[in-house]
Amino acid sequence: MTDPVVGRLTFTGVIGREPSTEELASVVSHYLMRLPEEVAQSSGYHVLEGVEELLLSLCRNGFLLGITTRAVEAAAHIKLARAGLNRFFSFGGYGSDSADRGELTRKAIDRAGVILGSPLDPPRVLVLGDTPKDVAAAHSANAIAVGVASGHYGEVEREAGADYVLGSLTEELPGIGEAAP
């Protein structure tokens, strides 16, 4: 679920009714004001092995990198900042764009095209994710789904129909010579 959906459901569960637009805006605003402290103090925050090296390598080789996340844009940047990863991502698709993961991925691909000055060909775009829903979102956007079996789901990405499955982010990305930068 995206941050706005979680906020709406939480409000409804606690208050017993749907929030007004003003009330939901207040929930999201208060969440964002509290989030930096929560992220900074989180003992569960960790970066997967190989992430920084992979991102550095891709950037040095001229690949434009984006992020697709269920978080609203500000929350995504707050979460990335703790590990110093914001610098790698020049565009994205965020939970503030849509509640649909496929739509978030399509928006991210469209934004990359704006940066590059021409639309990208989605079947040449690699989308990495560590859940079956990430694989489905990539396919919904007609992109190449690369499942990373380092998350909670393990090898289930293969069963979810990923075009490629990596055991970790330390493995070489598939078709990197064919993917559009």
**Other CB atoms within 10 A of residue 172 CB:** 8
Same domain, residue pair 61 and 127: yes
Structure tokens given for 139: 């396919």
Q: What's the domain count of the chain?
A: 2
Same domain, residue pair 56 and 120: yes
Euclidean distance between CA atoms 70 and 86, whole angstroms: 16
Q: Is the dihedral of CA 66, 79, 95, 130 positive or negative?
A: positive
Euclidean distance between CA atoms 141 and 181, whole angstroms: 17
- pLDDT per residue over 148-158, tens digit each? 887 666 666 66
Same domain, residue pair 27 and 91: no
Same domain, residue pair 69 and 32: no
Structure tokens given for 90: 């020049």
The reply to whether 180 falls in a domain is no
Q: What is the pTM of this model?
A: 0.86
Euclidean distance between CA atoms 67 and 97, whole angstroms: 13
Same domain, residue pair 76 and 158: yes
Q: What are the C-alpha distances in Å from 117 to residues 11, 64, 90, 112?
A: 41, 13, 14, 9
The contacts of residue 53 (CB under 8 Å, 6+ apart) are 170
Same domain, residue pair 66 and 97: yes
Euclidean distance between CA atoms 28 and 75, whole angstroms: 10
Same domain, residue pair 98 and 22: no
Torsions phi, psi for 174 (to 5 deg): -75, 145
Name the packing angle between helices 21-41 and 3-15 (round to 10°).
110
Closest CA to 64 of 122, 125, 141, 10: 125
% of the chain residues with pLDDT over 70: 91
Same domain, residue pair 152 and 111: yes
- CATH, residue 104: 3.40.50.1000
Same domain, residue pair 97 and 139: yes
- pLDDT per residue over 94-147, tens digit each? 999 999 999 999 999 999 999 999 999 999 999 998 888 999 999 999 999 988
Q: Note down the domain range covering 23.
A: 3-41
Question: Looking at the predicted structure, is the pLDDT value of residue 14 above 90?
Answer: yes
Closest CA to 13 of 27, 32, 25: 27
Same domain, residue pair 69 and 35: no
The reply to whether 171 falls in a domain is no
Same domain, residue pair 136 and 162: yes
